[in-house]
Amino acid sequence: MNDLKDNDKLYRYLFQNRAVRGEWVRLNQSFVDTLNTHHYSQPVQNLLGEMMVATALLTATLKFEGNITVQIQGDGPLSLALVNGNDQQQIRALARVEGDISPEMMLHEMVGKGVLVITIAPKEGERYQGVIGLDKPTITECLEDYFVRSEQLQTQLIIRTGEYQGKPVAAGMLLQIMPDGAGSPEDFEHLATLAATAKNEELFGLPAEEMLYRLYHEEAVEVYAPQVIQFFCGCSAERSGAALLLIPDEEIDEILEEHKGSIDMQCECCGTHYFFNKEAINKLKSPVQAE
């Protein structure tokens, strides 16, 4: 069966005698839903999976309500890859491909000259944005670097994408020394060495606790209740309409003429179509005040 225990879940845990904390996540249906309406090539699919895992792990470290956007922008055939997730672990992703991407392409070949931008937007309070050069061969290494630099804490990030029982899957683990200074670098290294032995089929196929037991059966690990991860787009006719109003009038008229009087604003994330005809557009421009 494809519905394994702990599919689309995120667990946080604590090594009680080591002052090191960890997270484990696996994306199944949430990843499938993301890929559903697109025909991304394999490297793009893998990259989005890695970014989704990273976003879920990063979001779980938030101490407040809000959301995180992880995006890559570049001048290569992959001009944009974007993942957004919130503290409820609702996640969405999209990629914009404007050229040919062959199956064996590496990150730098896809992105060209590019950057990784991480935006943390709390519901209340100031946004934080970090811009990182893509100066490592994989997105996982770039993100690991980000974690270490932004939080100044020893961090290990393991992210794998692939297929399990015929379905796309992305999974990962994060290990981080506690900020209170009680953890030792040696303890962290020891746990990180063990985590690095995790095999793909274990990450993709085992329940979290069994995975943790295999890696750390000599450790006292306190595992907290999991969070469910869901694909959630959040698009709406209102938002599409607002985006439509940013297009100059003449252009709108041209598009209307070309497309038999109806503009299709398709959501890039989930593929939902929102149609607007002349009447609907006029209504957007001069909204009738209700009451």
Q: Which residues bind Zn ion (CB under 5 A)?
A: 233, 235, 267, 269-270, 272
Cα torsion through 57, 63, 69, 70, rounded to 10: -40
- Residue 274 CB, shortest distance to Zn ion, in Å, is 9
Cα 48 from Cα 70, distance rounded (Å): 10
Comparing CB distances to Zn ion, the nearer of 133 and 271 is 271
Cα 86 from Cα 120, distance rounded (Å): 10
Comparing CB distances to Zn ion, the nearer of 159 and 267 is 267
Comparing CB distances to Zn ion, the nearer of 221 and 267 is 267
- Residue 93 CB, shortest distance to Zn ion, in Å, is 11
Comparing CB distances to Zn ion, the nearer of 191 and 267 is 267
- Residue 279 CB, shortest distance to Zn ion, in Å, is 24
Asked if residue 157 lies in contact with residue 144, where contact means CB atoms within 8 angstroms, the answer is yes
Helices (H) and strands (E) in the chain, counts: 10, 14
3-class DSSP assignment, residue 264:
strand
- Residue 39 CB, shortest distance to Zn ion, in Å, is 17
- Residue 133 CB, shortest distance to Zn ion, in Å, is 31
- Residue 241 CB, shortest distance to Zn ion, in Å, is 14
Give the CA angle between residues 261, 267, 273 to the nearest 5°.
45
Cα 267 from Cα 28, distance rounded (Å): 22
Comparing CB distances to Zn ion, the nearer of 37 and 42 is 37
Comparing CB distances to Zn ion, the nearer of 195 and 263 is 263
Place of tokens 């990629």: 95
Q: Are strands 9-15 and 221-223 parallel, antiparallel or unpaired?
A: antiparallel
- Residue 117 CB, shortest distance to Zn ion, in Å, is 21
Comparing CB distances to Zn ion, the nearer of 81 and 139 is 81
Which DSSP string do the residues of 182-236 spell out, in sequence order? -S-HHHHHHHHHHHTT--HHHHHHS-HHHHHHHHHTTS-EEEPPPEE-EE-----
Cα 87 from Cα 68, distance rounded (Å): 9
